[in-house]
Amino acid sequence: MTRIHAYLNFNGNCEDAFRFYETVFKKPNIGIHRFGDIPENPEFKMADADKNKVMHTAIMINDNTMLMGSDCIEGFGHKAVEGTNTYIMLDTSSAAEATELYHALSKDAKIIEMPLGEQFFAEVYASFTDKFGIPWMIHFEGNKGQHNA
């Protein structure tokens, strides 16, 4: 079963926004991962000022709905722009489902930010903008989840 979650992008104030959303929805944050937590890669240098920014955070609004967010890193080519700072995130129940959705939705995509592949936080993940200009994330956490640690 695929679940749809809202994924919000910010330019440095994601943590403040999610502290606010915790009070609005009366739900605790399920964790904050920072860009400084990413394993170092000499091909992608990160400014020290960006290391404390939020790479990923989330609030479970109910059993089936999550509000997630991240700060954008301009050095990585990302900048949140009001009006286009939201992704539709498909949280799949299998790698096969993620693969099928990726190949269907990314056909003739305008932008492939991250092609479908393994990440340190997910067995399968992709982010792209479809041919209609809609930003998508496809995710299968599998055995990489913080709940499995």
Two tokens, residue 113: 């930010």
**Would 139 be classed as within a structural domain?**
yes
Confidence band (pLDDT; 50, 70, 90) for 25?
A: confident
Domain boundary residue, one of 84, 108, 139:
84
Helix, strand and coil in the chain, % to nearest 5: 25, 40, 35
Q: Provide the domain count of the chain.
A: 2
Q: What is the mean pLDDT of residues 63-74?
A: 90
- Bridge partners, residue 138, by sequence: 90, 126
Cα(34)–Cα(121) distance, integer angstroms: 12
Which residue, of 84, 113, 129, is where some domain finishes? 84
Q: What is the pLDDT of residue 148?
A: 40
Residues 42 and 101 in one domain: no
Q: Domain range spanning residue 141?
A: 92-149
The pLDDT, as a whole number, for residue 83 is 66
Helical (H) or strand (E) element with 33? strand 29-34
pLDDT on residue 4 = 84
Span 38-63, average pLDDT: 89
Both 71 and 119 in a single domain? no
Phi and psi angles of residue 82, each rounded to the nearest 5 degrees, phi first: -55, 130
pLDDT at residue number 2: 79
- 58 and 76 within one domain: yes
Indicate whether 16 and 77 sit together in one domain.
yes
Cα angle at 52 between 49 and 57, to 5 degrees?
A: 140
Kindly tell me if the per-residue pLDDT of 82 is higher than 80: no
Co-location of 26 and 70 in the same domain: yes
What distances in angstroms separate CA 100 from CA 42, 118, 120, 138, 140, one per listed residue? 32, 15, 21, 10, 12
Considering the domain architecture, whether residues 121 and 70 belong to the same structural domain is answered as no
User: What is the pLDDT at residue 146?
Assistant: 58
Q: What is the mean pLDDT of residues 9-20?
A: 91
Residue 5 belongs to a domain: no
Which of 51, 133, 24, 148 has its CA nearest to residue 87? 133
Residues, the chain: 149
